[in-house]
Amino acid sequence: MSEPYYKQEYQGERKLDGEAPVFSFDQIMKETFLRPFIWNARTTRRSFWIGIVITEVIIWIGGIITFLATVMPVSHYENDSADMINGFAFNGDHASMIVIIGMIIWGLIYLYLKLCQLGLAVRGLHDINYTGWWILLMLIPLGWIFVLYFAIQPSKQEPVKWGTYLYLDE
């Protein structure tokens, strides 16, 4: 059985006195994309924001590509005749199977990226010694303001209930 959190020493080396450990970009990406379901850990403010920005950029790029693929005009010529069928790749009457499969794949990627962001948010709350349940404030109107306030707080330089930083041993 491990020691209670309040008897533990601060985990990790400090760059300067009073600062949280600094992880490489590679470690931040591993934490973001390969460890989204590790809830009992912490992430530094820098790691949190880099991970959130990277995932949000991927979400926006993927969303734009998916949007353009669904509204892109499609032309189909049969036997070089003058008959041309114009339409959209995804409309109410006919949907291209490739577009549907692409949207399903993008939906799964989008869900995974949002779960990555959720994992970062929970670990970020743990880093400032708050429970991850505070993320539920996002479900109420204007609750995002409180979550943003938590997200800009500096790391606590003391042990917390929810574990240590990932990748300290590397």
Q: Is 71 in a helix, a strand, or coil?
A: helix
pTM of the model: 0.72
What is d(CA 49, CA 164) in angstroms, rounded to the nearest whole number?
Answer: 18
Asked if residues 55 and 113 have their Cβ atoms less than 8 Å apart, the reply is: yes
pLDDT tens, residue by residue, 135-165? 888 889 998 899 889 888 888 877 777 777 7
Which pLDDT band, with edges at 50, 70 and 90, does 33 fall under?
Answer: very high
**So what's the pLDDT on residue 110?**
95
Asked if residues 60 and 79 have their Cβ atoms less than 8 Å apart, the reply is: no
pLDDT tens, residue by residue, 72-98? 655 444 444 444 444 455 555 455 677
Mean pLDDT confidence for 21-42: 86
DSSP state of 82: S
Q: How far is CA 80 from CA 1, 49, 83, in A?
A: 77, 54, 8
What is d(CA 42, CA 163) in angstroms, rounded to the nearest whole number?
Answer: 7
